[in-house]
């Protein structure tokens, strides 16, 4: 019985140590989350509006925009960018992004995978860890795994510019980014977004009256100054780089929210386990005391009868 009591005491001590670690990690993640959440909530309206404007411009210029970023072409080579965290201990966060990336590959690029015409780029190490076995037949690119170490616009722009150059040079005809959209600390949504070519704005003709259709499908009333080409040559790459930065800031905030939630649950579970172990310990201790008392009473009775 003494051995059992010692074992339970050691387990309680071990769980308490683990609980202290999970509490500390929860506090660290909460502090990092505030900063990351501020970054994405301040940037998202700006980035979304720029992206809407970009889609509107490329949807209404009818091929005379002087840029290839909105040009749909037959997909011969494709790339999927998988944005995950570098560290773990954040629940199913990375697994959900990997599942979404796997779905995209299997549904949209299965033929390109078979023909060795697909490349997977990894930002964050957990994406590679989750896909290296299942997609061992696909070309991997891990050069930008550590991008989360510096989330400045200039550093991120080197990767987005590389992807844009690859699209313009027709190395890739379609580029999809899989990331996590931050909703709140407890909720992140795995997303697959077409980075290039820029998707066109689709209008459901059945839901529009004739005059609304004419107004909506007509060319947007843009005035370009300086020249259209000069402006778009500068504007479109900047918008695309901002859009790509949003992918990373969204995922960064989502990671810390997921880790904070996971560590909070782990701390609560540790507390529940400690309570159960204390009950077990007290029962075992009570049984040991009762047994000792019984032995003493039995010994005393034996002495009296002797």
- Residue 262, token pair as written in the block: 């996971």
- Residue 180, token pair as written in the block: 């996590």
Q: Is 121 exposed, middle or buried (0-12, 13-18, 19+ CB in 10 A)?
A: buried
Rounded-to-integer distance, Cα 180 and Cα 244, Å:
13
Q: What distances in angstroms separate CA 109 from CA 92, 105, 114, one per listed residue?
A: 25, 5, 9
Rounded-to-integer distance, Cα 176 and Cα 75, Å:
12
CB atoms within 10 A of CB 199: 16
Strand order of the β-sheet with 187-196 is 139-141, 118-123, 78-83, 174-184, 187-196
For the CA atoms of 63, 64, 70, 71, the dihedral, rounded to the nearest 10 degrees, stands at 40
| Cis-peptide, bond into residue 226, ω within 30° of zero | yes
Residues annotated catalytic, as ranges: 90
Helix 93-108 and helix 228-305, axial crossing angle in degrees, nearest 10? 130
Give the chain's end-to-end CA distance (angstroms, integer): 30
Give the chain's radius of gyration (CA, Å): 29
């Amino acid at each position: 019985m003494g051995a059992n009591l010692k074992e339970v005491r050691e387990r309680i001590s071990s769980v308490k140590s683990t609980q202290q670690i999970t509490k500390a990690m929860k506090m660290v993640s909460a502090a990092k989350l505030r900063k990351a959440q501020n970054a994405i909530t301040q940037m998202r309206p700006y980035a979304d509006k720029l992206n809407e404007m970009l889609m509107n411009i490329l949807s209404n210029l009818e091929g005379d925009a002087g840029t290839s970023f909105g040009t749909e072409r037959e997909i011969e080579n494709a790339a999927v960018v998988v944005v995950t965290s570098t560290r773990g201990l954040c629940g199913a966060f990375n697994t959900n992004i990997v599942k979404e990336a796997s779905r995209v590959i299997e549904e949209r690029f299965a033929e390109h995978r078979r023909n060795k015409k697909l490349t997977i780029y990894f930002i964050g190490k957990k994406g590679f860890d989750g896909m290296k076995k299942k997609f061992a037949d696909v070309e991997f690119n891990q050069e930008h795994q550590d991008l989360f170490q510096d989330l400045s616009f200039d550093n991120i722009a080197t990767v987005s510019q590389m992807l844009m150059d690859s699209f313009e040079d027709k190395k890739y005809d379609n580029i999809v980014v899989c990331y996590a959209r931050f909703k709140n600390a407890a909720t992140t949504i795995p997303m697959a977004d077409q980075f290039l070519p820029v998707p066109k704005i689709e209008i459901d003709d059945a839901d529009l009256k004739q005059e609304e259709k004419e107004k909506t499908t007509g060319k947007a009333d843009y005035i370009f100054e300086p020249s259209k080409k000069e402006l778009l040559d500068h504007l479109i790459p900047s918008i695309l780089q901002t859009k790509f930065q949003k992918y990373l800031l969204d995922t960064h905030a989502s990671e810390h929210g997921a880790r904070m939630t996971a560590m909070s649950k782990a701390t609560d579970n540790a507390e529940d386990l400690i309570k159960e172990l204390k009950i077990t310990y007290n029962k075992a201790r009570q049984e040991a005391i009762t047994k000792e008392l019984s032995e003493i009473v039995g010994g005393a009775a034996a002495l009296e009868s002797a």
